[in-house]
Amino acid sequence: MNFPIWVIILDYIMGMIMWTLIGRTAMNIFQREDSNFFFMKMFVKFTNPIIKPFNIITPSFIIPPLIPLYVAWFFYMFRFYFMPWALGYSVMGMLSFPLESEFTQVFLSLFKK
């Protein structure tokens, strides 16, 4: 499927934000947020500005280590529902996100030999 360049750029940005938030949640299983581990510091530094605007709609019962996953869900929902609607598609189909689709094609080409 050929998407306009603005769609691909927007999807890549939203996809990277979403996966970074998921990565922070996964990293938080093994590390505290205030850890001195370089990768955890980077996850916290880059995702805190993204998480902060969502504080007003984040329910108080969500435990702090799961808040990045909750915010990632919003980015996923935007990518899955709003983007196809904005482009005029009723359904985009499996692996139709440009970022994940390209990653899957590269991954499969490694094992296709």
Give pLDDT tens digits for 5-44: 887 788 889 999 999 999 999 999 888 888 888 888 888 8
Radius of gyration in angstroms for the set of CA atoms belonging to the chain, rounded to a whole number: 16
Q: pTM of the entire structure?
A: 0.77
Percent of residues, the chain, with pLDDT higher than 90: 39
Q: Tokens in use for 85? A: 């609607």
E strands in 7-84: none
User: What one-character-per-residue DSSP string does 49-61 give?
Assistant: HHHGGGGGGS-TT
Strands (E), 1-113: none
